[in-house]
Amino acid sequence: MLLLCRHCLMASIFITVFFGGLAMASTDTTTAPDSAMDVIKEFTGGEIDLGPRAISTKQKHTILFVMGSTLLLLVLTTAVLGISMAVYGKQVFVWHMISAGLTVTLALAHGIAAVVWFFPF
């Protein structure tokens, strides 16, 4: 059993080093004359006036803070439900999965909102 574990460990190290070396060798160190940021700046050059629908930066930070706080509570709830299932044998699998689904959904929404609002252009 121990010999099998050593072979698996050596194989995983070999695969990691081999594919990591391929990834490092395939990176291109030369830069193109038009970088990606220059191309993006062409599309975002002008300011967009949203009128009364515009949200201030302080409101954006407040919204992301509330989303982040709720996300933290959902992560802790999911962890507590998982621990209570695994350690204490409670039958809370459905609630655990609902909490996990809400956590993933809110995490995606939080990440998308942050990127859309604060990506540096």
51: left (phi over 0), alpha (psi -120 to 50) or beta: left
Spans of all domains in the chain:
57-121
Among candidates 120, 113, 118, which has minimal Cα distance to 68? 113
In a structure prediction context, what are the per-residue pLDDT tens digits for the chain, which is 121 residues long? 445 455 555 666 656 655 555 555 555 555 555 676 677 666 666 566 667 778 888 999 999 999 999 999 999 999 999 999 999 999 999 999 999 999 999 999 999 999 988 886 5
CA 115 to each of CA 43, 44, 85, 112, 120: distance values in angstroms, whole numbers, following the listed order: 17, 15, 35, 5, 9
Round to whole Å and give the CA distance between 121 and 118: 8
